[in-house]
Amino acid sequence: MVRELAEWNPGRYPEVLRWPLREALLSYLERLRAQARAAYRDQQFIYCMLAPHAKKGALSEPKLPPILRNQ
């Protein structure tokens, strides 16, 4: 988690380790949400590109990831 929050920069590890636990966890959660949001957006884009050309029922619309529900 420290590596992710420090953006894989070893010079920032000590700085991240000094963060209050709550701030670190909230920051990590926001990173996870951003990654899930980007992946979902990509899945929607691919679905929109393929759906008009696919047989009926061959594709299903991507579902919203659980981490993005009830924000």
Residue 64: which pLDDT band, with cuts at 50, 70 and 90? very high
Domain residues of the chain, as ranges? 2-68
Characterize 4-40 residue by residue with b for buried, 16 or more Cβ atoms within 10 angstroms of its Cβ, and e for exposed: ebbeeeeeeeeebeeeeeeebeeeeeeeeeeeeeeeb
Model pLDDT, residue 62: 94
The Cα–Cα gap between 64 and 62 comes to: 7
Q: What does the pLDDT look like over 17-26, one tens digit per residue?
A: 999 999 999 9
Q: Are 47 and 62 within 8 A, CB to CB? A: yes
The model's pTM is 0.83
pLDDT at 49 over 80: yes
Query: Using alpha carbons only, what angle is made at residue 71 by residues 38 and 62, rounded to the nearest 5 degrees?
Result: 45
Model pLDDT, residue 42: 97
